[in-house]
Amino acid sequence: WFHLDQPKRSGKYKFRRVGTATAKLPAGPFTFVAGFRPDGIPSLDMNLFLDPLDGQAYLIRDCAHDYVGISRLSADYLNTTEAGVIAKLHTCEGMAMFRLANGTYYLITSHLTGWNPNPLIAWRSTGTVLDRSTR
């Protein structure tokens, strides 16, 4: 997974897409699979999270600077599932998720200030699921 875009020229990203690629080894060589907008939503800063408790993988991304969206990944990790965005948070960037053994999810992020320093934001789930839908 990678942010698929062209360099900023007018201060804005043009495509706001993700790209997927596969390789037999972590260092490649990689084969491009697809470029798309997950769940049909423009996507910027992103990260992936593999839940250590249940093995489910997630895409966490800035959705057009409107909100942070969390979506489940398909079994082959190459797309999001039909459930779409299962959780939304206030917009931020630089997301890093982890989960404790007690089931609580945490997300560490930063404010939207680009390369300028800012205080971190820490989010915590209110329970042990990211959404209310059935798995």
- What tens digit of pLDDT does each residue of 37-84 get? 999 999 999 999 999 988 999 999 999 889 999 999 999 999 999 988
Helix H or strand E encompassing 84: strand 80-89
Cα(46)–Cα(70) distance, integer angstroms: 10
- Residues 25-35: pLDDT tens digits? 999 999 999 99
Name which of 50, 41, 103, 36 is nearest 68 in CA terms: 41
- Quickly state the pLDDT bin for 7 (edges 50, 70, 90): confident
Name which of 88, 90, 95, 51 is nearest 69 in CA terms: 88
On whether the CB atoms of residues 3 and 18 are closer than 8 A, the answer is yes
- Joined together, the tokens standing for residue 47 give 């990260």
Helix H or strand E encompassing 105: strand 105-110
